[in-house]
Amino acid sequence: MAAILIISFAIGLIVGLPVAITMGISGLTAVLIDGRFPPLIVPQYLFNGISSFPLMAVPFFILAAEIMTASGLTASLLRFANDLVGHIRGGLGHVNVLVSMLFAGISGSALADAAGPKVIKYAHFQPAKLDQPKQAAALAFKNYVESNTKGSVKVEIYPASQLGNAITVLEGLRLGSIEMGVVHDGPISPVFKPFMVYAIPYLFDDQAMAWSVVDGPFGQELGEAMRKATGIRMFALGDNGIRHFTNNKRVITSPEDMKGLKIRVMPGPIWSKLVSSLDASPSPVPWPELPAALQQGVVDGQENGVTNILAASLYQNQKYISLDGHVYSWHAYLMNDNFYNSLTPDEQKVVQRGVEIAKIIHRGMTSAQDTNAPTILSGVGMEVTPLSPEQVAAFRKKAQPAVVAWVKEQIGEEWVKKLFNAIETYRKANY
């Protein structure tokens, strides 16, 4: 490209052509020979006149890019941009704009060559410990994707809310400043309301039923609806644990025991509706703030699965747990859809397979802890109260109708009906 431009430009000046025409001929020659642009660009710009700035200027921008690349300036600027994106929290969208402006004059091919592999910034909220399902699953995904794309895709894991809370991560997923996140269910419903159907209490009998429903046609249809509505692709759901009520006031064996307790819930109105239907007082508190809220007595109790109780050491400030299993909670594996579509078909297959492997690891670790809840939680000093099917039925009778009615008011009957039909289909096939 450089040689073409220099030679054609020199010839034009030697024969005495005006500078504008010389630039136009040089640009036309470069476009036709180099092959970086579709041939249609030539008649388009010639129609507007040989002095059209884009036809003259674009090849010279490419020349400048090649000089910058050869000198190492492009690589230096990209390293600076990557460092900037990696260290600024909560402002990635602004950084992307600045970086786009910075490289506006660099050709696409030079930028791609210097940028190297496609990078997935992978956000989650559990500690960076291998005994935490999110982190173990994230590492498995990273290793699988990087090795099976032969380095064309790189995965950077940001655990423990390093890229912000769930609301910030979901916004980043929508904007594309965060490529991938594993986000708990509570904050998803405000972004995509139909997702709240999974928070209807006392839906599933066990993990086998729950997994069959969310992995089956119902879950796939809900995920596709979310992608179309938000631009966020939902690959899969990993377990966030079977949720139980804990508190530091008294043993809970019936709905009446809930009365007057101030219970922390995830942000999202459906969780508040669940607790208020049991005559307790809901208090939305973001996950990172929960341990402090319990320690300071801001709330009396909370509701979570075993994994989260252990991850945040909630047992240090919660004496009692009742194993009512009111909600099978989820961690959604999410990706910005535009980023996914920017991957090659082979890279997409690897990412999908990587998520499937991560999901299996995630579910296995979490469900093992859920199944062994009495042993695990009594071992850290909690007083564990298992509930009989009859006791759970009393909670269902009081809470489920109120929550279902509220959900229908929010999103209509369609998704609620489809979910209960999927559950009934499973029961008929397996019981």
| 248 and 293 fall within a common domain | yes
Task: State whether 153 and 282 are in the same domain.
Answer: no
**Rounded-to-integer distance, Cα 32 and Cα 26, Å:** 10
Contacts 24+ apart (CB under 8 A), 250-256: 250/320, 251/320, 251/322, 251/383, 251/385, 252/320, 252/322, 252/324, 252/385, 253/322, 253/385, 253/387, 253/391, 254/391, 254/394, 254/395, 255/279, 255/394, 255/395, 255/398, 255/399
pLDDT digits (tens, 9 = 90+) for 245-292: 999 999 999 999 999 999 999 887 888 999 999 999 999 998 889 999
Distance between CA atoms of residues 75 and 264, nearest Å? 49
Asked whether residue 87 falls in the same domain as residue 150, the answer is yes
Neighbouring C-alpha atoms within 13 Å toward the C-beta of 426: 21
Phi, psi of 184 (to 5 degrees): -70, 160
Tokens encoding 55: 């036809």
Residue that is last in its domain, among 56, 71, 86? 71
Q: Say whether both 31 and 141 belong to one domain.
A: no
* Alpha-helix residue ranges (DSSP H) falling in 88-193: 92-102, 108-115, 133-148, 166-175, 188-191
CA 14, 18, 19 angle in degrees (round to 5)?
Answer: 85
Do 357 and 384 lie in one domain? The reply is no
Please tell me the predicted confidence (pLDDT) of residue 134: 96
User: Which residue range(s) make up the domain with 188?
Assistant: 75-238+332-363
Assign residue 341 the CATH number of its domain. 3.40.190.170
Q: How many domains, the chain?
A: 3
Same domain, 404 and 319: yes
Is the same domain home to 359 and 261? no
Q: Single out the residue in 363, 385, 405 at which a domain terminates.
A: 363
Q: Predicted confidence band at 294 (pLDDT cuts at 50, 70, 90)?
A: very high
Whether 110 and 226 map to the same domain: the answer is yes
Question: Does the pLDDT of residue 110 top 90, yes or no?
Answer: no
Which pair of tokens denotes residue 87? 């260290």
**Same domain as 245, residue 216:** no
Q: At 164, is the pLDDT very low, low, confident or very high (cuts 50, 70, 90)?
A: very high
**Is the separation of the CB atoms in 268 and 199 below 8 Å?**
yes
Asked if residue 112 and residue 216 are part of one domain, the reply reads: yes
| Residues 369, 371, 372, 373, CA torsion sign | positive
